[in-house]
Chain A
Amino acid sequence: MSENNLGDHISHRFDEELEAVRNQVLKMGGLVERQVASGISALIEHDHTLARVVARSDVKINALEVSIDEQCTQIIARRQPTASDLRLIISVIKTITDLERIGDEAEKLGEYALRVENEGIRARHYEQLQHLGDHVLKMLRDSLNCFAKMDVEMALLTIASDKRIDDEFESVSRNLITHMMEDPREIASVLHVTWCARALERIGDHAKNICEYVVYLVKGKDVRHISLEQVAEEVDIELDIDIEDGDK
């Protein structure tokens, strides 16, 4: 099927409009990704300048969301898209909502990084977020790549990787709780780290949603709220990973 193909419409203008929307989403994805990367760096490297930038820089992301929404509305009103075109527009509208929320979570990371400075919160526990942060950033990048390439197989693998992030989050949480129990004076500081871990975990969830929209876009199957095993079966792809614990 020509499902990966935005072009070839009899109306070239329509081709251009769809391509423009897609490029805007990729641009928004790029901004969000940089925002998350900066948020993580700001926390872990105690970079307050960066933290300040992250905490205030989602204006551009929000503006892009509004602009893409508007473009999609115009396309629906003027082109009445069907089939894969319709699914593209629906996926874009949903994807940018998740991207915007990822931007919000990243902004939170920036705010927490600032608090380290402003409220004298001890920073040393933030190192524990390094691993989780790396995973989340990779998952976000993968999900954006899936969207760019409309790659269903990669989308399924990325959906599966959310389980690892959840596990990582559990493990970080257990560690942090142990710290709190060992030294109650640390509770306030450690709680902040827990909230940051939570924000990272949420970013993973949003990245997973984006991958689900990619599956919908390419295959026309709604794979939300079903197990990864069922997803693979629905889209008729054999996954080369262990998905026994890939429940949602």
Chain B
Amino acid sequence: MADKPDIEQLIGDTVGEIHVDAPKMSTRNCNVFYGDKQAIFDVNLDFGKHSVVALIGPSGCGKSTYLRCLNRMNDTIPICRVMGKLSLDDEDIYAREMDPVLLRARVGMVFQKPNPFPKSIYDNVAYGPRLHGLAQTRADLDEIVVTSLQKAGLFEEVKDRLTSPGTGLSGGQQQRLCIARTIAVSPEVILMDEPASALDPIATAIIEELIDELRENFTIAIVTHSMQQAARVSQRTAYFHLGRLVEVGETNDIFTNPRHELTENYITGRFG
């Protein structure tokens, strides 16, 4: 790329501490290409246990692409190539012997638009456990469904209509149903791609509260366009720009005293 040196100069190396102690997931020299076009450039980042990392940045900065690398969602795009070392508990997630279906059970994902299956609430949550054979008996399955709905903060609202279609719920409830579906297979990591951007402020607040509770049991990475949301829910924040990880740091520091000018410009709403 002709303009590459300028961009490199403008952005430079990642500012801030990319390492955490005993990371749950980490990426080293992560590069992603769509055909000839490079979308992610040498991203090095650790994700700590029981911690929420927020990935922020302008549209097209690569934050969603990067997030999707973490459970090999990009495998479904034929022209997409992922390079570098991406690991879960020191296991290379792009290794030949890694089964992407099993990986996605360990690293779950919640999408921007709630996407419940056209099935009952019960079957939506039971889908994963059935697929992976996690329940031996009907009672086991019932328990998984109830616990998952409880953890997702939805059980009280739907306990009397578990056989109704999941698509009949409100947007916020559907999103919590999708979270319940994700946690039903006991993942270790949950990736969230704009989980609240289609929701009203109340439903958003409920999801954010839920994220904070889920943190006790899971490692969470969340892509969000809402800076306030990143500030509210995360412990660490990573700022992406033009496919590079510009800065990463404690959320407390990033929102009061960012070190990179590009981060400052973005979070204060200035022209970059």
Contact = CB atoms under 8 A, between A and B. Distances in A.
Contact of B270 (A10, A80, A86, A220): A10
B114 interface: no
Given A8-B271, A10-B271, A82-B227, A2 B265 contact: yes
A83 B267 contact: yes
A81 B257 contact: no
Nearest to B231: A82
Contact of A85 (B228, B263, B268): B268
Given A83-B256, A87-B257, A14 B269 contact: yes
B255 A1 contact: no
Interface string B240-269: 000000000000000111100101110111
Contacts of B261: 1-2
A82 B271 CA distance: 15
Given A80-B228, A83-B255, A9 B264 contact: no
Nearest to A79: B269
B268 A83 contact: yes
Given A220-B256, A220-B257, A83 B269 contact: no
Interface in B44-103: none
- Find the residue from B261, B267, B270 having the highest chain A CB count within 10 A: B270
B16 to A, nearest CB: 14
Instruction: Using C-beta atoms within 8 Å of the partner chain, give the interface range for chain B.
Output: 10 to 19
Contact of B269 (A2, A3, A9, A87): A9
A84 interface: yes
- Find the residue from A10, A14, A83 having the highest chain B CB count within 10 A: A83
Contact of A84 (B227, B228, B231, B268): B268
Contacts of B271: 8-10
B228 A83 contact: no
Nearest to A7: B270
Instruction: Using C-beta atoms within 8 Å of the partner chain, give the interface range for chain A.
Output: 10 to 19
A2 B267 contact: no
Contacts of B267: 82-83
A84 B270 CA distance: 11
A178 interface: no
Contacts of B231: 82
B226 to A, nearest CB: 10
A61 to B, nearest CB: 29
Nearest to A88: B268
Contacts of B256: 82-83, 86-87, 220
A1 B270 CA distance: 12
B270 A8 contact: yes
Contacts of A14: 269
Given A86-B255, A87-B256, A9 B228 contact: no
Interface in A31-68: none
Contacts of B257: 83, 87, 220
Given A83-B255, A220-B256, A10 B264 contact: no
22 contacts: A1-B261, A2-B261, A2-B264, A3-B264, A9-B268, A9-B270, A9-B271, A10-B269, A10-B270, A11-B269, A14-B269, A81-B268, A82-B268, A83-B256, A83-B257, A83-B263, A83-B267, A84-B264, A85-B268, A86-B255, A87-B257, A220-B257
Interface of B: 227-228, 231, 255-258, 261, 263-265, 267-271
Interface of A: 1-3, 8-11, 14, 80-87, 220
Given A86-B255, A87-B256, 18 more contacts: A1-B261, A1-B264, A2-B264, A2-B265, A2-B270, A8-B270, A9-B269, A9-B270, A9-B271, A10-B271, A82-B231, A82-B268, A83-B255, A83-B263, A83-B267, A86-B256, A87-B257, A220-B256
Q: Which 9 A-B pairs have the closest CB atoms?
A: A220-B257, A8-B270, A82-B267, A82-B255, A85-B268, A1-B261, A83-B268, A10-B269, A83-B264
